[in-house]
Amino acid sequence: MVTSTLTPGDLRVTIAAESLGFSSTAELVQQPLPWIGQARAQTAARFGLGMAQADYNLFVLGEVGSGRSSLLQQLMVEVAAGKPVPPDLCYLHNFDAPDKPCALRLPAGQGRLLRQLMTQLCKTLQKEIPLRLNGPDFKAESAHIEKIYKLEEAKAYADLDAFAEARSFALYRENGHLVFTLLGEKGNALTESEARSLPKERRARIDQSEQELREEITRFLDKTRPMMQVMNEGLTALRRQLVKPLLERALLENLVALKVPVKDAVKLDAYLAQVITDVLDNLDLFRPSDEDEELRIEELATLLSRYRVNLLVDNEGLKGAPVLIENNPSFHALFGSIEYQPEEDVLVTDFSHIRAGSLLKAHGGFLMLHVRDLLADELVWEKLRRFTRSGRLQIEEPSQMFTPMAAVSLAPEAVDVDVKIVLIGSTEQYYELQEADPEFARRFRVKVDFAESFLANAQTYEASAVFVAHTAERLGLPHFSAQAVARLLEDSHREVDDQLRQSAIFAHTEALVMESATVCRMRSGASVEAADIETALQARKLRHDYPDQRMQEAIAEGEWLISLQGEKIGQLNGLSQIDLGDYRFGLPVRVTARTFAGNEGLLNIEREVEMSGPIHDKGVLILHSYLSALFAHMAPLALNASIVFEQEYHGIEGDSASCAELYVVLSSLSGLPLRQGIAVTGAVNQHGQVLPVGGVNEKIEGYFRICEKAGLDGTQGVLIPQRNRRHLMLERRLVDAVAQGLFHIYTAEHASEGIALLTGVSSGMPMGASGYAHDSVLGHAQKTLQAYRRACQLADHPKLAHRRAR
């Protein structure tokens, strides 16, 4: 087995602009924008949005920038257009329990109409009731009723007056009360002192007469009170008789104008009947009063406020079902609220201060939420859990209990809410939710999984070009030439480090479209060209690559020790990748090994000082296992070996250096030097197979830039896993250097191929019955290990050494 050398054509995908079938994206604007590479997610989303049963809410998972939110919103609007318009939602005053307002659903647009009708009713009542109560018909009838009462009351009063006069008392009215005075023999009123001066027998008769008069007054009042009550009831009945037809006619007009379903019509009928009763019970408030007119007006305003309609959800003018995107899902924004106003050190409210949240507004349609926003507020999360379980929403004010002022409680009637919730989250959040809260997760049975990448073909290239066209049109940017789109597509392959797949994170593509369009405008170009893409990429790199540049300078200045020529034993350049989040770059790092006779085995110095991560430690343990298997015929091994990453002070993670670690150990054991111009990356398993690693493009380019600065001499290159071949999307400058023979890229499927390339000596595999060939790498290592064993045996048995010396 030997390594293979890659040709320039193997190092990147090059897309011919002619193969795209257009000259400018302006030709593609009219084409619909598809779900590029997300057929699985699109199918799942359509199924979930079309599923009418409960608990089939959607959980959309994927990476930020994959289009999960925008594509779902687009599909929600499309599906919602074919659904019926949901009803309006109103809250009305509850005459039986004012602290429990009644909810009423009406067909779309009818809520606004009911509100207008009730507002007009209040104006009509304020205008018409006083007119009717002051009209000639009412005055004539009320005068007749009052006359009957006055005649009967006058007759009874005349009898009482005669009764008083017969007993020498004068009777008269004063401020609504009956007052009597004792009269003398001449008919004049006696004073108190004059009455006391009368003879004793006379005073006794007067006292007796006064007592009789008081009793007669009581009988008079008992007789006239019912008469007054009859009169008042007659007047009240007269007022109700005159006003009730007005009310019934006005409310009947309301019912005729409204088209209410039977279920809600019963509820509305009961409410309007209560309105009639309430108005008729308070007719006095509609008549101007000579006493405390301001109080009457205030009380009338309070009365009329009961008849207002609080229209929480108004769907008039809506086409299809509602689609809401709630980007600030606070408790109030999501579930609604009750507003309070301070009044004499007490917080007061009523049904008219109830406000709808996104859930109520989205009834009958779709509501999109982001999981991260919900998890930020435990109260919101718990309330949403309860809602998804019951499907009923109770508007409440959770902060009321924490207010320093007393507050009037209000418990609006809970309503059923039929809404399809679309949760946007990451893959990690989805599975954490499945584990931590399976009951809640059961309410989201539709998993919409957005891919990070997809297989590239002519169709995906065309769809990506349509995306570029729509982006340019939407943002008012210059359109892109076919050459520019081809360069964008190549960058999409680079995003995922794969010659066969494109990146599904179109937010990155959109950003590059905007940046390259800006470059085009700066040069006053008519359309964006491939050169503009290159300029934008270089400008982006310049904004982010200072750490990379600084490390290259450190190597060039000799601060960071890297050897690029010659051969050395137990020393090799490994390739590492540094990921800063917004920028990744590769960097060579010197890997060295020392071996001695001993029984401690392979020592990972990074692990000993706690500077390595678990994946790297695992790689070293696998390496130890492979070494033990190579020399199993010599077991147990008498070996002490130490491996270290030189000048590494920040820790190391990953197993991509395990091939390099294997080679430096074998070099130290065999005494064969390694080529310093060839840097190595790759993981190794227990059978010596070389496994693919991540960041291969950044690693190769990082090492190439170091060699380029030092001067390419045709001996430098990199050794990578054969399985990483499809992941190569290298920059054109590097490809040109390979084409000129100044830089080389080798691949290996097995560790034996790499050690042969680096030493120029056969690896020695496969193993013969008596061990490895003496002139092979493993043969030299075997010889050293045998010497280590003898040294260990002599150290353990010094007498044996003395016997041999004789």
Q: pLDDT by residue (tens digit) across 748-760?
A: 999 999 999 999 9
- Supply the pLDDT for residue 602: 63
User: How large is the average pLDDT for residues 174-182?
Assistant: 69
Q: Answer yes or no: are the C-beta atoms of 182 and 206 closer than 8 Å.
A: yes
Find where tokens 């091939």 sit: 659
Q: Name the residue with higher pLDDT: 300 or 400.
A: 300
Signed CA dihedral, 417, 268, 322, 397: sign only = negative
Q: Provide the pLDDT confidence category of residue 477 given band limits of 50, 70 and 90.
A: very high
Is residue 662 a contact partner of residue 593, using CB atoms and an 8 Å limit? no
What would the mean pLDDT of 459-480 be, rounded to a whole number? 95
Query: What are the tens digits of pLDDT across the range 191-236?
Result: 666 666 677 776 777 677 767 777 777 776 776 676 666 666 666 6
- Which residue is listed with tokens 């009338």? 300
Tokens 């395990």 locate to 658
Question: What pLDDT, on a 0 to 100 scale, did the predictor assign at position 460?
Answer: 95
Residue 455 clears pLDDT 70, i.e. is over it: yes
Q: Name which of 260-274, 304-318, 664-678, 771-785 the model is least confident about.
A: 260-274
Looking at residue 650, what is its pLDDT? Answer: 62
More confidently predicted of 56 and 629: 56
pLDDT the model gives residue 560: 83
Token reading at 746: 């080798």
| Joined tokens for residue 243 | 């006003």
SS3 14: coil
CA distances to 620, 655, 788 from 642, in Å: 11, 17, 15
Q: What value does the mean pLDDT take over residues 525-554? A: 92
Q: What's the whole-number mean pLDDT along residues 161-185?
A: 70
pLDDT, mean of residues 430-444: 90
Residue 281 pLDDT > 70, yes or no? yes
Q: What is the pLDDT of residue 405?
A: 54
SS3 (DSSP) at 112? helix
Min mean pLDDT across 275-289, 382-396, 725-739 is at: 275-289
Tally of CA atoms within 13 A in the half-sphere of 620 that contains its CB: 24
pLDDT score of 406 more than 60: no
pTM recorded for the entire structure: 0.81
SS (H, E, C) 647-696: CCCCCECCCCCHHHHHHHHHHHHHCCCEECCEEECCEECCCCEEECCCCH
Q: What is the DSSP string of 605-644?
A: HHHHTT-B-HHHHHHHHHHHHHHHHHTGGGPSP--EEEEE
Rounded Cα distance, 239 and 303, in Å: 18
Q: Does 469 have pLDDT greater than 90? A: yes
Burial class (CB in 10 A: 0-12, 13-18, 19+), 761: middle
Point out the least confidently predicted range of 711-715, 752-756, 792-796.
792-796
Q: What is the mean pLDDT of residues 718-747?
A: 95
| Rounded average pLDDT over 370-390 | 92
Q: What is the chain's Cα-based Rg?
A: 48
pLDDT band at 805 (very low <50, low <70, confident <90, very high): very low
pLDDT at residue 232, as a whole number: 61
pLDDT computed for residue 267 by the predictor:
87
Band of pLDDT at residue 428, cut at 50, 70 and 90: very high
